[in-house]
Structure 1
Amino acid sequence: MIAIDFKIQVFIAAARHLNFSKAAQDLNISQPAVSKNIHELEVQAGRNLFERNGNRLLLTETGQMVLSYAQQLTGIYEQMNENLGILDGKTAGELRLGASTTFSHYIIPTLVAAFHNKYPLIKIKILHGNSHQVEEWLQQKEIDLGIVEGLSDNVSMKYEAFLKDEIVLVSRYGNPKVNKDATISAAILPTLDFVLREQGSGTNEIIRKALMQIGIGWHELNVKAILASTESIKNFLLSTDCFSFLSIHAIGKELKSGELQVVDINGLDIERYFFFVHLQGVIGRLPESFRRFAMHCIAENQLV
């Protein structure tokens, strides 16, 4: 593999984070090393690439122009390395994915591991964030392919349904508020205690709409705690008699161990899909290979 100038890689990381410390963490180097490489690049350019505005780091006009060319150079190097791999009869290069939090934490590790076993020469990089961030990364060409939990009206994006998900009501196994059949009526939901994700969560919005359709307002839920992650919610549930709505893909281990249980709600099913998303047009060979591989895994029931 032919590598692009390391100073360019450092600059792109610093421009993405607008923070030298985070760029250093991203590249697994020291902050002084980031500063040194940026300084050397600025000397070569003959201009400052960054400026400080109080505690904020901003790209200068020159920095924005250099970033545009740097991203194009990165794409050219990636395409060159892919084609070198083809000449050798090998599939090689770097695949950059962006995924929503639920997918990146609970589904993509198994999928990427299987893909790596089949294509060991492909380097895989994954960013995780909300759907809006994934779209931004695609537009900025920081990733090649995204996997998100919902659709947007962005006409520059193309979506393809990938994996069905179900949002289920969850509690600890043995919760005295759950009968032996582990079923409840939707009407008693306002009498239960809940722990939920923070406001702005995409999952919350899906739950809110589903509850509205059966005549239950979001404000009617008795929320005892609001936590920042699914893992923290699961740990909270294990020590309380509270309930939460979680993706079925996020609780596989706890269901197998018997720590958590799914509580069926009569008259309420909450379903959604994970979608592949990319910019309109033809995607590259590596992201297309990954997309086809993932779809095959789902079709053959090899993923979930």
Structure 2
Amino acid sequence: MNLRQLRYFVSVAEQKNFTRAARKLNIAQPALSIAIKKLETNIGLNLFDRNERQVHLTQEGQTLLPHAYRILRMVEDANTEMAELRGLQKGEVRVGVPGMLGSYFFPSILMGFKSKYPDLKLSVVEAGTQSIRQMLLDGELDIGVIHSQDVPAALDTTHLISSQMVAVTSADHPLAEQTSMSFQAFFDEELVMFKKGYFHREFIDRICASHKITPNLSFETNLLAMILNIVRHGFAITALLELVTQHEPGLIAIPFEEPVTLDISMAWRKHGYLSLADRAFIDFVQQNK
């Protein structure tokens, strides 16, 4: 097998359709079908179950797919490093950032980095920490900001910040005068929360499980601005990092009786290639956090 065949194989596996895969690869569909058939003949195994509408990986195809991803990532890393040695590219940093940190912690750092390195390209993706972890493992991101708990063994990390998680209400909410709040009192209220996959929601689900509490979830959204507006208007309360409430008027932060501190880290693939641009970004963040 060769790299071209592996790229074709991965594209068909992802698209589950030869026509869509050929369109994405910008080649003729018959040429793609011939290439895949040749790959199957060369290795002596059927990689796809074919029908008129979709194709699916066979067990042998499922076994090959992670190897194909790993080989193509290694080739991409090698090409990037060689290009840097030749001085043919200025560099790009692909960063994944959760919503709360992307809105309140990172803007000044990103602008400062861009001012120092104007020729480097920054591509910033906003997503939940679970999605960011997976995108790092899949090679879709170079660097990601994740919760420091349960970090996959394939990732390296460096500590970024620690911030307290607090209950958040509107200024005129009946609970706004309290100096602290129990978990039971919090979960008795109507709540607005991020959807599963964000460290904010991971915290909520973990507390519910440990205290055997069923939360009263009235709203779920991945939009931080919507969460803030719902809380401001008194329709629900939420839990956010304290650093958010320090920048938002009309919101009251109430610490939990059992203090909760979240540790946040920057992460990258342990055996992946970190470009000069990636290393410059990591160093800059560590110096300016």
- From 25, 30, 35, the counterpart of 1:47: 35
1:71-100 Cα offsets, whole Å, 9 max, x none, are: 444323422343344x9xxx9311222334
Give how far 1:172 is off: 1.5
Closer/same/farther in 2, CA of residues 84 and 251 from structure 1, 3 Å limit: farther
Contact 1:131 1:150 in 2 (8 A): no
**TM-aligned CA distance change 1:106 to 1:19, over 3 Å:** farther
Equivalent positions of 1:64-143 (< 5 A) are 70-85=72-87, 92-143=90-141
Partners of 1:246 and 1:93 in 2: how far apart? Answer: 35
Provide the aligned C-alpha RMSD in A. 4.2
Q: Which residue of 1 aligns with 2:218?
A: 225
Q: Secondary structure at the match of 2:76?
A: helix
The verdict on how the C-alpha distance between 1:245 and 1:56 changes in structure 2, with shifts beyond 3 A counting, is: farther
- Please point out which of 8, 26, 29 is paired with 1:38: 26
**Identity across aligned pairs (percent)?**
15
C-alpha spacing 1:71/1:196, structure 2 compared with 1 (3 Å): closer
Q: 1: distance between equivalents of 2:107 and 2:54? A: 34
Counterparts in 2 of 1:174 and 1:155: CA distance versus 1, 3 Å: same
| 233 and 78 in structure 1: CA distance in 2 versus 1, 3 angstrom threshold | same
Asked if structure 2 preserves the Cα contact closer than 8 Å seen for 1:208 and 1:218, the reply is no
In the TM superposition, what is the alpha-carbon distance from 1:17 to its structure 2 partner?
Answer: 11
Q: In the alignment, does 2:192 pair up with 1:183?
A: no
1:109-258 alignment runs, 5 A limit: 109-152=107-150, 154-179=152-177, 182-186=178-182, 188-189=185-186, 191-199=188-196, 201-209=198-206, 217-219=212-214, 221=215, 223=216, 225-229=218-222, 230-240=224-234, 242-253=236-247, 255=248, 258=249
**Distance in 2 between residues matched to 1:36 and 1:196, nearest whole Å:** 37
Instruction: Rate the CA distance shift 1:55–1:259 in 2: closer, same or farther, 3 A.
Output: farther
TM superposition score normalised by structure 2? 0.70
Local SS of the residue matching 2:125: strand
Aligned length: 264
Question: Alpha-carbon deviation of 1:163?
Answer: 1.3
* Cα 1:197–1:135 shift into 2, 3 Å: closer
TM-score scaled by structure 1?
A: 0.67
Asked if residue 297 in structure 1 is aligned to residue 285 in structure 2, the reply is: no
Q: Which residue of 2 aligns with 1:288?
A: 279
1:227/1:139 CA distance change after superposition, 3 Å? closer
Structure 1: where are the runs of 5+ without partners? 1-7, 21-31, 299-304
Mark the CA change 1:112 to 1:200 in structure 2 (over 3 Å): closer, same or farther. closer
Alpha carbons of structure 1 residues 146 and 43: separation in structure 2 relative to 1, 3 Å: same
Three-state SS of the structure 2 residue aligned to 1:138 is helix
* Structure 2 residue runs without a partner (length 5+): 40-46
Cα distance in 1 for residues equivalent to 2:52 and 2:253: 50
CA–CA separation in structure 1 for the residues paired with 2:67 and 2:272: 26
Q: 1:251-270, aligned counterparts within 5 Å?
A: 251-253=245-247, 255=248, 258-265=249-256, 267-270=257-260
CA distance 1:43–1:238, shift in 2 (3 Å): same
Residue equivalent to 1:24:
none
Displacement of 1:119: 0.7
